[in-house]
Amino acid sequence: MSRASLDNPQYYINREASWLAFNRRVLEEAQDESNPLLERLKFLSITASNLDEFFEVRVAGLVQQIEDGYTEADLDGFTLLEEREVVSQATHEFVDEQYSCWNDQLLPLLTENGIRVLGIDELDARARAFVDDYCQRELDLLLTPVTIDPAHPFPRVINKALCVAFLLRRRRRSSLTYTGVVTVPRALPRLVRLPSDSTDDFIFLADLVVYHASRMYHGYDIVSSAAFRVTRNSNLYLAEEESRNLLESVRTELHNRRKGDAVRMEIDADADPEIVERLRTNFELEPWQVFPVNGPVNLSRLFNIYEQTQHPELKFKPYVPRELRLTAKSQDLFEELRRHDVLLHHPFDSYDAVVSFIEAASKDPNVLSIKQTLYRTSEHSLIVPALIEAAAKKEVTAVVELKARFDEDSNIRWARDLEDAGVQVFHGLVGLKTHCKLSLLTRHDGDGVTRQYAHLGTGNYNANTARIYTDLSLLTADPAITNAAHNVFSFLTAYAEHATYDPLFVAPVNMAEHILSLIAREAEHARHGRPAHIIAKMNALLDKNVVMALYRASQAGVKIDLIVRGICSLRPGVRGVSDNIRVCSIVGRFLEHSRIYYFENAGEEEVYLGSADWMPRNLYERVEVIFPVKDELLRERVKREILDAYLADNRKARLLRADGTYERVWQAKGKRKLPAGVASFSAQDFLIAVAEGKQAPDAIPAASMRKTRRTAVRKER
């Protein structure tokens, strides 16, 4: 089949539809009765947070493009208007499913387990007395009631703020109705805990605002009320080339983001139609952008219940990550790295080793300099204070990405703190986000040799997310890798382009070229009858050039296994195009975040790790690094323990079908159970057991299970 034929839009899945399918898989975890109840509640809250960001970024961009008159179709053939219709229908259906999950499944089960979310009319005398006191002591002092009239324009409602609208009638002018609006300060909890000796009781803050409204609107009768929430465009629009100070430009634009155009309104399902129409008109929304909800207008706040209730029996069983242990011959981590590379798989391996690597460097007088990239880090980061401490004694350079979406505020604060301490702070390259995960130390060792040591990772320098995201870290003193990392830093700080970054792949310089070359090499092996197999694990697959290369490799006979957590535009199982490609997605206890790329290479296996997904933004619009795993034992671990485990998963894995839908393994051909003789297997549970020493790393189910899965996919075609 010719290259031109691979341009057929039928061979590509719409990006937005694919993302919505991912969020539906997260919702399935909230609906899954095999998950602990409070974990199901957390999954539901995550779907709401995900949907917020989808509207703030993707839908906002779509609406903006339509308003600007863009008409060009995407690679899947959808026009922008067609894509908007897909988004509208799918998101409304999804929101209905979210609230069905809350009202019909989770809320009754929470009540059965002594966790109650009550309405005002359900409060006993003790709880009502608490509410009255809370309204007077906390609520009344912070609320500002507004009545809309010529002298009082509609208040500026900030992004995702909880608000309550009222339809009011003056007692002296009963024929007129007014709109009242109360914006609830973010300082107040959205779920207020009530006093109780035997149960965990909560009430929604919006209910308290409505309950308290008569005391705020003296002289009015309250005809009706409705809680609502507006989502706004949160894209940053920066003219970096014209900016004299990127930090100040980002800070200014962040302020503007809170006032971006509205793209969605959530409102109580039983809201008076007059309130809905007045609000819709004010926010200049089309009817499809209004979402009536049968419950709290912000489901993400349900996470507060998870945090504020103990009930360990309703949560995942805790586990202890495996700590890095030095060999008996090594006195410290630096000596260990001179002997061999260290590979860590988080959260199964503790992230403390990465933090210790940087903290030790800050205190070690033999360390001469530290270079560090920061994309997202935790509010109480131990790494940033270590860099600040080190700056008093040695050269410290930090490349802080100010445009890391939704982390800009914290990154600005860290950048200023680092600068004040004497750290040389850079903000990367104009027009490119710095997304690579690199830490590079220069140390004068005891043997008189000055060496460099590096940490390269697939995830952010964030100890909090390292407990819930799966990521990989490589600690190494390999001169080829550390020299290349040094060149990457000079590229970031001086835009100094080097002739080679080998053995690293660096975006946007040469990463796409290298990836396409590796895929083409596997295709060539297959054509000549040599072993050819690609396994790629990533968050998203969207780049058309890569997808077409994979299609050509499939046509050449390469076996391709893709483990793609989220968006996947590649359509597997298309006869003559992608017969040899299988795509699965794993959504479970941990967010799958690691990027792993395996090439069988005619028996000379190669494994690469890195920060980049196979998406245009990663390959062409960011500074990214993919690095090889050179140590044979570590390559074996990545392939046999990690990748094989994910390929064997039949509990949390969903298979992507040619029509763009996903199915659990045992649901193929309508089956609701695993085939006889095949045990249930979760990759994440297996990796926890391995880390705890309860399971051997090679105890993954036999290849026959994976054969069963592949057969099931073929039967679906």
Residues belonging to the active site: 435
Nearest Cα to 505, choosing from 410, 386, 412, 626?
626
Nearest Cα to 41, choosing from 52, 28, 30?
30
Evaluate whether 587 touches 564 at the Cβ level (below 8 Å).
Answer: no
Cα separation, 483 vs 500, whole angstroms:
11
Nearest Cα to 364, choosing from 388, 390, 335?
390
Residue 39's H or E segment, with its range, is: helix 37-53
Residue linked to tokens 């009319």: 121
Cα separation, 361 vs 376, whole angstroms:
21
DSSP conformation class of 570: B
- The string of DSSP letters for 346-394 reads ETTB-THHHHHHHHHHHH-TTEEEEEEEESS--TT-SHHHHHHHHTTTS
Burial tier of 444 (Cβ tally within 10 Å: 0-12, 13-18, 19+): middle
CA dihedral 295, 183, 209, 283 (to 10 degrees): -50
Amino acid 246 reads L
Evaluate whether 477 touches 665 at the Cβ level (below 8 Å).
Answer: no
Evaluate whether 493 touches 434 at the Cβ level (below 8 Å).
Answer: no
Buried b (16+ CB within 10 A) or exposed e, 527-547: eeeeebbbbbbbbbbbbebbb
Cα separation, 296 vs 191, whole angstroms:
10
**Backbone dihedral angles phi then psi of residue 444, each to the nearest 5 degrees:** -95, 105
**Backbone dihedral angles phi then psi of residue 278, each to the nearest 5 degrees:** -65, -45
Buried b (16+ CB within 10 A) or exposed e, 556-579: bebbbbbbbbbbbbbbbbbeebbe
Start-to-end CA span in the chain (Å): 19
Distances from the Cα of 646 to the Cα of 138, 612, 671, angstroms: 50, 19, 21
